[in-house]
Each structure stands twice: as structure tokens, then as C-alpha cells.
Structure 1
């Protein structure tokens, strides 16, 4: 319990540093997520108006895709730079590297839950929300974050060795975003391309659990090679990078 309380204090400290001097404070973070979802939804739903019969289905498809991706992208970018951003505190304390890595994960859980509320309310009113799968939907989000954490143990340490790879990670996150079927249906060549993305299957599982009547679009066993690779990367970071990173802080 002591570590949990310390972690929560670090999470609040990180929020305070991120939004210090901001007019809206931490509220800006939640507002930003809602604005992003609204903008994407507005643009792509307008494009879909020529097919009104598919409008309702596409709305649920689009909103759940954005709900899944936006917190994941934040976790990827924030998790990569978390050790570098807390370099001075790491040097002065004996808390260890691993505890700091959980800061962006806790924030990811908060962002996912808060952002999901208006999305699920809308899906409930439109009749496309699978109430029976709601708990499993949150479980998928939790596990998807842990899945990405395997990679972040490596990327956060690599960020220290190479000084700053955050701009590269932001670019890669955009490529990953367009490589998963968030804003479009996977067909033909696009579907083959999607299968090479490590986040396609978690997104497909999430949609299957929360959208009523949604049929899985991919074979879920395709995640096995990515999971195996992420575990190997995690073990590499823990065993080979630990002592090296401490010297470079």
C-alpha cells in the first residue's frame, strides 16, 4: 500500500507539472480528448452522410476506435519520456525506475475511464452499446495498456541513452494510428496492412465487447507474434539496460 500511495503522489505531481500555469489546469486534458474525438467524428461522419443507412453503425465504430486509440497514444508518447522528465527526482530518490514507469499507465487508466463516459452514454442512447460486455471492455483497455507497457520499459530507457526520441515516437504514433482501422473499415489491401499492426487485434477485441452485434474482423491469434516480441523486448530492457541506464541518468 505504501508504494501505491507513493505512486499516486507521483501521478498528481506529474499532472501538476504538465499543466502548471494552464488556465483550465488538469481539466484541459479531459477537454482535449473530447475535442479530438468530436473533431474526428464530425469530419468522418459528414463524409459518411452519403450512406445514411450505415451512419449509426459507423458512429459506434468510429467513437470506439477513437476511445481506444487516444489514451493509448498518450501512454506511448508520455511513457517514452517519463524517465527523462523525472531525471532529477530519480537521481535524488531511491524509488527506482520501475515505479516512475507506472505514472503514465495510471494516467492512461484515468483518461480512458473519463473519456469513455460520454462515448458509452451516446452508444447507450443509440442502442449500440453492449451492456453485458461493458466490464470486459474496460478490462480490454486495462490489458491493452499493460501490453504497451512491455514495450515502454524498453523505449523509456532507450530515450535516456539517445537523449530524446520523443519526436520520433510522435511520428511513429501517427503511422500506427493510420495503420489500425480507427477511421475506416478494413478491406482488401488495407486489411492486410492492418494485420501487421500490433494494436489492431486489441482494438478489434475492444469493439467486439462493447458494440452490440459487432463481428470480429480479424483472427485474434495474430496478436501472438507481437506479444512474444514485446515480452522479449521487456526482458531485454530489464536485464541488459538497467545498470547502463543508471549510469546515464
Structure 2
């Protein structure tokens, strides 16, 4: 019984994911294609700037540094989309939530599924280039995907809160977009985590997930992040999730 209910929820979730793409892009295929082209154009810009023009950190090896940048982009681009889309997911589906018996919880998982799809699509050109550079192997790709799943579940804790607050405060998406810029520059994506910047990186809640992802994906990469420094963020995000579910659910339903 529990198993059949679980698979029914998965089927409903996949239908809602397709519906969300249809609302945004007039079709799921068009939505995924647009997302791929958008991410590919961003990757091409970084490829031209950091690889072909030779702009790199500290004058080091171009291939090493470019692998560093590409792995960082593969981690960040889908994560940023997840954070922004996840904030508005309840607001965009408020009419359906009010009319259906599904409740808001299942809608909060739509951006998570899209996050994994966008990562898989974005990974294709990046992994091809990294394989050509000799920086990844099949096992590393599989482990990096596991890291992204865990990172997505970690972000779900905050995304649940932001989506509910977005209903109550009408629209906080501009604030979330600004927050993503601070998070991006606080991560060693286009620079290396050393010196003064390395000391600041530990205050970014996604520093440990990024370094774990890189160490899983790239051959010979050693993580510069420690799990002990990550623990406070893990406890904080878990607390935010519990708070949002226990205190904000009824308030959100009243504001729909």
C-alpha cells in the first residue's frame, strides 16, 4: 500500500513538472531546450574568456584552472536556477493548489526534479570537455551526481521556507536573485580558495557541497572544505525546514 502510494505521488509529481514547463515555455521539450541553450551560452562565454583568452588565476596551468571553472559552473548554474524557481513555485501554482486536494507540499518538489534535469542537461557539454582534458572518469561522474542530489536535498530545506515566505510577503524574488550573486562570488568558482578569499569561503553555506562535488568529479582534486565548518549550516538549514513546516503551513494556506 505504501509502495503504491509512493509511486502514485511520483507520477503526480512528474505530471506537475511537465505542467510547470508547459506554463513557462509552452512545452516541456521547449523548456528543456531553452534551458540547455541558455546554460550552453553561459558556458561558452566562460570558455572564451578563461580558456581561449588565457585569463586564469595566478598565471597557473590553463587546463587545470579551466577544469576548476567548469566544475564550479556545473555545480552552480542548476543550483541557482533551483533557488530562484523554487522561491516562486507556490505563488505560480496558487490557483491549482486551492482547487486540488494535493496540498502545497508536492509542489515544492517540482523545482528539485527540474534541478536534477537541468544538471543532467548542463553536464553534457561540460563533461565532454572535461573528458577531453582527462580530468574526469565514469565513476567520478556518478559520484558527482550523488553529490548534487544530496546538495539539492540540502537546499530543499531553505527553498521550502523561501517558497512559503514568498506567498506571505507577495514577492521576494528580487531579493533572492540578489542573494544568489553574493553566494556566487562567495564560492571559489572563477577563483581558487586560498589566501584571504579562502578564509571567507568557509562562511558560504555551499562551500563544502561545492568542494565535495569537485573532489568527486575531478581526478586528483583535494577538497579545501572541512565538514566541521559545514555542520552549523546543516543544523541551521534543518531548523529552517522544521520551522517552515510547523509554523508557516497554515499561514500559507490562509494567504493562497
Shift of 1:21: 8.8
Residues 21 and 209 of structure 1: CA distance in aligned 2, closer, same or farther (over 3 Å): closer
1:94 maps onto 2:105 in alignment: no
**Matching residue of 1:7:** 13
Aligned counterpart, 1:16? 22
| Gap regions ≥5 residues in structure 1 | none
Q: How does 1:160-171 map to 2 (within 5 A)?
A: 160-171=167-178
The corresponding residue for 1:131 is 138
Q: C-alpha deviations, 1:25-61, integer Å up to 9, x for none?
A: 5411111011112212322332526977510101110
Find 1:185's aligned residue among 167, 192, 204.
Answer: 192
In structure 2, stretches of 5+ residues that fail to align are: 1-6
Select 1:156's aligned residue among 154, 163, 172: 163
Matched, 1:31 2:59: no
Give the Å deviation of 1:213. Answer: 0.7
Q: For 2:48, which of 42, 60, 64 is the aligned residue?
A: 42
SS of the residue corresponding to residue 183 of structure 1 reads coil
* Aligned mates of 1:221, 1:102 — CA distance in 2: 29
- Cross-structure match for 2:149: 142
1:221 maps to which residue?
Answer: 228
Which of 116, 119, 122 aligns to 1:115? It is 122
CA positional deviation for 1:217: 1.5
Secondary structure in structure 1 of the residue aligned to 2:166: helix
Match of 1:55 in 2: 62
Deviation at 1:134, TM superposition (A): 2.0
CA 51–196 in structure 1, closer or farther in 2 if over 3 Å, else same: closer
Shift of 1:198: 0.4
Q: Shift of residue 189 of structure 1?
A: 1.4
State how many pairs are aligned.
249
TM-score, with structure 1 as normaliser: 0.95
Contact 1:130-1:209 within 8 A present in 2 as well: no
Give the stretch that moved more between structures: 33-42 or 134-143: 33-42
| 1:162-182 Cα deviation digits (max 9, x unpaired) | 000001100110110011001
TM-score of the superposed pair, with normalisation by structure 2: 0.92
SS at match of 2:61: helix
Is the counterpart of residue 75 in structure 1 residue 82 in structure 2?
A: yes
